[in-house]
Amino acid sequence: MARARLIDPHELERMMRDAAPLTVLDVRWRLDRPDGRADYEAGHIPGAVYVSLDDELAAHGAPEDGRHPLPDIADLQTAARRWGVDTGDTVVVYDDWQTFGAARAWWVLTDAGVPDVRVLDGGLGAWRDAGLPLESGPVHAARGDVALTPGHLPRLDIDEAAALPASGILFDVRAPERYRGDVEPMDPRAGHIPGAVNAPTGGNVDELGRFLSSEQLRERYAALGVTGDTTVGVSCGSGVSAAQAAFALSLAGVDAALYGGSWSQWANHPDRPVATGDRP
């Protein structure tokens, strides 16, 4: 299976300078500001194309499907060609908030068969810290020719997520207060999937938002119960921050399955049980 790959700002700048086959995607998205286009147009990495997570990296269905269902492959291919992705391109993705949007793009495009998708370590902040320039305004890329096929990464449906804790580990990567059920600002029920283990995404990165080393990530997840033969799944609120955890686990050498519906799907099925508190 394709392994996660990071790229640092200077390496990206060299690829841009050398005119390597490259597409750079700006996937700015936050829970409180899901449309990042205005921030993108105010300043972005030169040549980067804006990607709307809500509209292009997710489908729109019933509440029972969750808030960010994975996109249909035909719709994703149309979007990727609009972004200018050609067959053979290296695709670099970045954002400005905890690598959530970038990791969602990494997961979706890797699952769709794009072989070289890299995450800018530290995101836009790392680019700025490196003293590299920004440009403003939109970028309209020439139409790409990439052909996508789904199913290159493991995923879980709602029944598989329910069953996984009996034979492996399902990580719930939301903040502890949402995992416990103390608060629930987004979905109709509070708590977590019975048997899920809390592993907040903040533990995957340092204070600058850069990913921990592969060895540090292996140690983190080993302490949470992952061994060489453990079947691992990841869940969050709606399948966005869980992609960051899947990326981090891949850096650690672990192939984790993404539960795309996550809590936003589970909470909209009243027949599904709910656990609360600190224990799985």
Q: What is the CATH number of the domain that holds 230?
A: 3.40.250.10
State pLDDT tens for residues 23-77.
999 999 998 999 999 999 999 999 999 999 999 999 999 999 999 999 999 999 9
Query: ∠ CA 63-157-266 to the nearest 5 degrees?
Result: 40
Structural domain contains residue 272: no
Q: What is the pLDDT of residue 1?
A: 64
Q: How many CB atoms lie within 10 A of CB 87?
A: 11
Q: What percent of the chain has a predicted confidence (pLDDT) above 70? A: 99
Give yes or no: residues 121 and 172 share one domain.
no
State yes or no: pLDDT of 275 exceeds 90. Answer: yes
Are the C-beta atoms of 276 and 191 separated by less than 8 Å? yes
Are the C-beta atoms of 141 and 116 separated by less than 8 Å? no
| Domain that includes residue 118, residue range | 6-129
Residue 123 annotated in active site: no
Structural domain contains residue 271: no
State pLDDT tens for residues 80-100.
999 999 999 999 999 999 999
Give yes or no: residues 125 and 170 share one domain.
no
Determine which one of 162, 236, 242, 252 is catalytic. Answer: 236
Give yes or no: residues 60 and 122 share one domain.
yes
Record the pTM: 0.97
